[in-house]
Amino acid sequence: SKKPVRVAVTGAAGQIGYALLFRIASGEMLGKDQPVILQLLEIPDEKAQNALKGVIMELEDCAFPLLAGIEAHSDPMTAFKDTDYALLVGSRPRGPGMERAELLAVNGAIFIGQGKALNAVASRNVKVLVVGNPANTNAYIAMKSAPDLPAKNFTAMLRLDHNRAASQLAAKTGMAVSDIEKLTVWGNHSPTMYADYRFATIGGESVKGLINDETWNRETFLPTVGKRGAAIIAARGLSSAASAANAAIDHMRDWALGSNGKWVTMGIPSDGSYGIPKDVMFGFPVTTENGEYKIVQGLDIDAFSQECINKTLKELTDEQAGVAHLL
Ligand code: NAX
């Protein structure tokens, strides 16, 4: 049988953590033949550490055959030791009345510290996914704080936006969500993201051709996907957790095990493709194989798409300029 791999998860006692850990431990992320050791990080606060103990008790009580070990940590320097995968879920989301500068500063401190810790102690091949918001900029900060690790190993989660878009398109066309191919979401994980179905097919047919309604695209589809997080908060009184955890599983599984030629969306440091400046942590269409992702090249960007891409890019370069003094 395979040697266990180490999976670090931060914010492990939070609501996404609760929807995520059991699925990692059951083999849904890395395969039903891959044992895992969970290295869980929470803040040192007694309440958080106690909650983490409770989650660990429940993980134990599942008696998962693939769960080869569980560790509780309050310091990223121990939590990330030799880790092969790191899911950075814990962050400080924007609170009521919180200034942008304050949000960037508190998260800057968290992701500089975690980036440095990954740099110091993680596996040299660690695959990092940042879920905690602002996800793209937090991933950028961690990447810049880990100069000894390959920049390409740092990614941000756009997959929830991708899955939300796929589900809206399946509902609109009355087709199966699993038949959708060649969909992507460009840019920032924020309402400025640009979900782009111009190239998408469903059961081999053009989605754009099937829908044939540009007004629906601009006035219904894009705002619905962009504001889905807010709609869930309004309905549930809590932010999306199970769907976020599911997207994190999808992102890591496809990165580690391959997408079999299918396009998926990942937030990755730009290599300059499509005019996105190098290192900007940007949602791109990628295919994955042998643990590596490749940007889908050669797509035509029409005037409306360019406008949308420019807008989400501007938001990201502003965020990244706002943290430049910290790095
Ligand atoms: P919760 O508040 O339920 O849990 C977060 C947990 O992280 C808490 O237990 C907290 O103690 C812990 N934490 C905070 N700082 C930490 C640190 N420095 N080290 C370790 N642990 C730390 O939030 P939850 O609903 O789980 O959401 C987590 C993050 O995901 C939030 O920032 C949220 O905005 C973000 N989201 C990102 C999404 C995406 O698509 N990229 C979608 C869902 C979600 O909104």
- 62 contacts 101 by C-beta, under 8 angstroms: no
Say how many Å lie between the CA of residue 242 and the centre of ligand 1: 13
In the chain, the amino acid numbered 216 is: W
pLDDT confidence tier of residue 1, bands split at 50, 70 and 90: confident
Q: Is 83 a residue whose pLDDT tops 80?
A: yes
Say how many Å lie between the CA of residue 17 and the centre of ligand 1: 8
Would residue 189 show up in a list of annotated catalytic residues for this protein?
yes
Q: Is ligand 1 within 6 A of the CB of residue 158? A: no
Mutate to test the pocket of ligand 1, among 10, 15, 16 (most ligand atoms within 8 A of CB): 16
Complex ipTM: 0.98
Amino acid 96: pLDDT:
78
Amino acid 200: pLDDT:
98
Atom of ligand 1 nearest to the CA of 90: 7
Q: Provide Rg for the chain, Cα atoms.
A: 19
Over the stretch 156-198, which tens digit does the pLDDT of each residue have? 999 999 999 999 999 999 999 999 999 999 999 999 999 999 9
Amino acid 22: pLDDT:
98
Amino acid 97: pLDDT:
80
Q: Is ligand 1 within 6 A of the CB of residue 42? A: yes
Distance, CA of 217 to CA of 258 (rounded, Å):
30
Atom of ligand 1 nearest to the CA of 157: 41
pLDDT confidence tier of residue 136, bands split at 50, 70 and 90: very high
Over the stretch 279-327, which tens digit does the pLDDT of each residue have? 999 999 999 999 999 999 999 999 999 999 999 999 999 999 999 999 9
Going by the annotation, the residues of the binding site for NAD(+) are 11-17, 107, 114, 131-133
- 169 contacts 181 by C-beta, under 8 angstroms: no
**How long, in residues, is the chain?**
327
Say how many Å lie between the CA of residue 206 and the centre of ligand 1: 37
Amino acid 105: pLDDT:
86
Least confident of 19-33, 98-112, 195-209: 98-112
Nearest to 178 by CA among 114, 59, 260: 260
Over the stretch 230-268, which tens digit does the pLDDT of each residue have? 999 999 999 999 999 999 999 999 999 999 999 999 999
